[in-house]
Structure 1
Amino acid sequence: MSFEMKATFLVVSTGMFILGVLGNGFMGLVNCIEWFRTGKVSSADFILTSLALTRIIQLLVILLDSFIMVLAPHLYTTDIINLLQIILSILIIVQCVLGTSANGFIALVNCIDWVKKHKISYADRILTALAVSRISLLWTIVFHCYGTVLHPAIYSSDVKTTVNITWVVSNHFSLWLATSLSILYLLKIGNFSSLLFLHLKWRAERVVLMILRGTLVFLVFHLAVVSTDEEMKMNEYKGNITWESKWRDIAHLSNVITVMLANFIPFTMSLTAVLLLIIYMWKHLKKMQLSGKGSHDPSTEVHIRAMQTVISFLLLFVIYFFTQIISFWNFSTMQNNSVLWLCQVLGTLYPSRNSFILIWGNKKLRQAFLSFLRQLRCWLKERK
């Protein structure tokens, strides 16, 4: 690994660590301050604070491992590498189980509510589809990581192509459904004087639907590029080797550019929507405080909770975006298994932990989760 690649990797790793600590520290600090102020804490807030603390510890371990791997690779003996892989594999499995549970809970609550009321809101439809796509994405990441690092023998070209296509589809819907949800929240909650914003606000659901339909064209193009790249890799050289090599390079470069765009476009749109929403809620919160409404006012608490949710979502999205870029870059160039493991661990943070944030920020999901915890507590007491 060259000096420039080492420096880039360390800078990005440090940046993601700082962002993760800021986001999780903010959530934990707010809940702890509220705990000391009121003398009580809800079960949901306690779980979220515990998750924030474990994420900070996890990010610290990953950062230390990154610095040792780059600056002191001689310390990495076979036993240490095996131990590291076991620890990281356990972290990946735990995050996937937690993410599957949280996303399954979101989908189940919305489906039950749909069956009971015979109707479902547009935001809940997106949340349900997002939960299903994230479950698929999490286990695709697990299978890809284990097939690439632990069992490369079973990771044949056909299996790799199937996994790549599954990842492209699940990642596409995970990113674009989250982006659509951010845009929908911005249009529903935000209120700016711009005529264009007001025009889009009146047609919020139609705008989101058009975005989702439009991205299907890009998904078809992305699948075609991935299939072509994998087919070029599997085909043996025939005829003019120079031309074959050039076509393979063109197909691979097209795949790299497409992956970058597939992550960068929704990331940019989500970033813009979330930042605008934060600006609006911050101004609105200041107005409410100036009008004499304290921090314990119900409407003020709702806005504070919403700000915590969107800020946490934004930070996790930033971490996920950079881990995807580094992971793909590493897989295409360095083939460093340690880097790949670290990226996979960080990559599972977004689809798994963000689901808990969505549960915490959504009134219906939060009440259903608290009801489940109460029933679980009663069941455990009866067992004793």
Structure 2
Amino acid sequence: MLTGLDEIFLILSTAEFIIGMLGNVFIGLVSCSEWIKNQKMSFIDFILTCLAISRITQLLVSLFESFEMVLPSFFYSTWKVAKSITLLWRVTNHFTAWLTTCLSVFYLLKIAHFSQSVFLWLKWRMNRVVLAILAVSLFFLMFDFLVLESLNDFFLNFYVMDESKLTLHMNENKTLYFKTLILLSFSYTIPIVLSLTSLVLLFLSLVRHIRNLQLNSMASRDPSTLAHKRAIKMVMSFLLLSTVHFSSILLANWTLFIFWNNKFTKFIFLAIYVFPSGHSLILILGSRKLRQTALKVLWHLKSTLKRENKFHQDRLSRVF
């Protein structure tokens, strides 16, 4: 039977899930509709579509794990399902992080201006550079699989089911668990470092661009300056949300491991929804095409509700 805290936890998890699904489904639908209308998909739409698909899957897995936390008997009786869900969570989390990093690198190469030959070479091969980053990420995904497989085997030996009391008894080997978590968190640092580098270079490019405008007595609100500022806001939002996301993952793993029977530790898991849900809304607000489409959809919904309300009022006036 669910307790009051379990019900609150499930309500909050479902609310964050719905918000994230609305944002990511909207991004995917807009990108796919542009693809169908123009018979081709731009590279930025390709990244956004893949990111939306990855986050939709990630949200579904997160919701499943939320229900898993309040229904432990189901989890312990189906270890193979839980193991598959863990692997799926890792895959979606991996691609979400690396695709968002590709988005940051894309903004850098698209907007920043540097005269160095290496940067110009990368800028001319922008699409290939982003695809190369995704290809390199597959190597880290394979590494994660190997480490995660050892972690899953460790959990089988670590947790022992007491069939009479349905309780868990922890083994004494905690050091191996924490070392495995550190190895799993290693691949998270690389996307963050790449995004942080993109943010620093974008900022340096913006400072240099504004200085050139001041020397030439030109306005500081030209399109290039505004593009720099928008890109910096987007990358900063990714870094902020990703830091909250990955920190909450590590904190949830450690606290659930040490205080697994504490009723409040599961609420740390709610912070994991912030990244796939919040960043999709930031992408919609930061993209002019997505923002305008969202405003059109909201205006259409508003006008539809007005027409329905007027229709019902007219019917009531005829009756009375």
TM over 0.5: yes
Match of 2:46 in 1: 125
Residue 215 (str. 1) matches residue 137 (str. 2): yes
- How many Å separate the matches in 2 of 1:302 and 1:383? 41
Deviations 1:83-134 (A, max 9, x none): 4544343222111101111100101110111011111111111110001111
* Identity across the alignment (%): 37
Shift of 1:309: 2.8
Residue 360 (str. 1) matches residue 281 (str. 2): no
Match of 2:30 in 1: 109
Unaligned runs of 5+ in 1: 1-80, 238-244
Q: 1:173 aligns with which of 80, 95, 107?
A: 95
Q: 1:146 aligns with which of 54, 67, 77?
A: 67
Match of 1:329 in 2: 254
Shift of 1:254: 5.7
- How many Å separate the matches in 2 of 1:378 and 1:223? 50
Shift of 1:226: 1.6
Residue 135 (str. 1) matches residue 56 (str. 2): yes
- How many Å separate the matches in 2 of 1:298 and 1:267? 28
Match of 2:111 in 1: 189
Match of 1:227 in 2: 149
| Displaced runs of 4 or more, over 6 A | 248-251
Residue 293 (str. 1) matches residue 219 (str. 2): yes
TM-score (norm 1): 0.69
Alignment of 1:1-384 (within 5 A): 82-148=3-69, 150-156=70-76, 157-234=79-156, 252=177, 255-285=180-210, 288=213, 291-293=217-219, 301-335=226-260, 337=262, 340-384=265-309
Shift of 1:383: 0.6
Deviations 1:239-288 (A, max 9, x none): xxxxxx89x87874563233111212212222221232234235435655
Match of 1:60 in 2: none
Equivalent pair of 1:281/1:307 in contact (CA under 8 Å): no
Assess, with a 3 A threshold, how the Cα gap between structure 1 residues 250 and 301 changes in structure 2: closer, same or farther: closer
Matched AA of 1:316: L
Report the RMSD for the aligned CA atoms in angstroms: 2.8
Assess, with a 3 A threshold, how the Cα gap between structure 1 residues 109 and 324 changes in structure 2: closer, same or farther: same
Match of 1:35 in 2: none
Assess, with a 3 A threshold, how the Cα gap between structure 1 residues 141 and 225 changes in structure 2: closer, same or farther: same
Shift of 1:357: 0.7
Unaligned runs of 5+ in 2: 160-170, 310-320
Larger Rg: 2
Assess, with a 3 A threshold, how the Cα gap between structure 1 residues 321 and 287 changes in structure 2: closer, same or farther: farther
Match of 2:317 in 1: none
TM-score (norm 2): 0.81
- Count how many residue pairs are aligned between Structure 1 and Structure 2: 294
